[in-house]
Chains A and B, each alone.
Chain A
Amino acid sequence: GENVEQHPSTLSVQEGDSAVIKCTYSDSASNYFPWYKQELGKGPQLIIDIRSNVGEKKDQRIAVTLNKTAKHFSLHITETQPEDSAVYFCAASIEGSARQLTFGSGTQLTVLP
């Protein structure tokens, strides 16, 4: 089955700096890659996703890039703010798998004021 690895497990940045989280996946049949943000005591919330037919997607301060050849994708957050502090999860889904998501192990992002 699919295996998703996520790095780093913890990341601290100064407010205003950029943060980058990287994930690799194992199954070349994966075609959907969402990123979720989980705040303490809450469920994961989708922040951005990308499908395998595009290489990059942006939504204000958040961007995701996908390299299908290398089987890795990354989350980029610019101009970080204290409210960006949370655990971020990447995930991958294989076409035809009824949207079964395989998650990475998570990255605890701390934005220092």
Chain B
Amino acid sequence: DSGVTQTPKHLITATGQRVTLRCSPRSGDLSVYWYQQSLDQGLQFLIQYYNGEERAKGNILERFSAQQFPDLHSELNLSSLELGDSALYFCASSVTLAETDTQYFGPGTRLTVL
């Protein structure tokens, strides 16, 4: 158990809908990362927050957004969902942004878009 929690575990929805995925980092971790894992694209970095502020963006679609709240939990919002958005979404956390920091991954949310 990495100490990172994600809810829900599974999510099934229809095309065009909007969903919110939630992540609670390990106690004391200030940085949160979101990754998407799909069969054709592998594990891809989406976005990173540090202490409430966006720090880096990867291959995140404009239909996707995220935020980190004062209690450090983070939410990833996916809107106008398409079939191709079906994937595993992982959250990871680390203490800071230091070179020595390890990213600890949560168990993921499996999103299925029908």
Taking beta carbons and an 8 Å cutoff, which residues of A are in contact with B? 31-32, 34, 36, 41-46, 49, 51, 89, 95, 97-106
Contact = CB atoms under 8 A, between A and B. Distances in A.
A99 to B, nearest CB: 6
A51 B100 CA distance: 9
Residue among B2, B43, B48 facing the most chain A CB atoms (10 A cut-off)? B43
Contacts of B55: 98
Which 7 residue pairs across A and B have the least CB separation, nearest first? A43-B105, A103-B43, A98-B56, A98-B55, A44-B105, A43-B107, A105-B42
B18 to A, nearest CB: 24
Contacts of B102: 34, 46, 49
Contacts of B99: 31-32, 51, 95, 99
A102 B2 contact: no
Given A46-B103, A95-B99, A100 B43 contact: no
Contacts of B104: 46
B94 interface: yes
Contacts, number: 58
A64 B109 CA distance: 30
B108 interface: yes
Contact of B48 (A31, A41, A42, A100): A100
Given A43-B108, A45-B2, A89-B43, A101 B90 contact: no
B43 A98 contact: no
B39 to A, nearest CB: 10
B82 to A, nearest CB: 23
Nearest to A41: B107
A43 B90 contact: yes
A45 B104 CA distance: 7
Given A98-B55, A99-B103, A102-B45, 9 more contacts: A31-B99, A34-B102, A34-B103, A42-B108, A97-B56, A99-B48, A100-B45, A101-B103, A103-B43
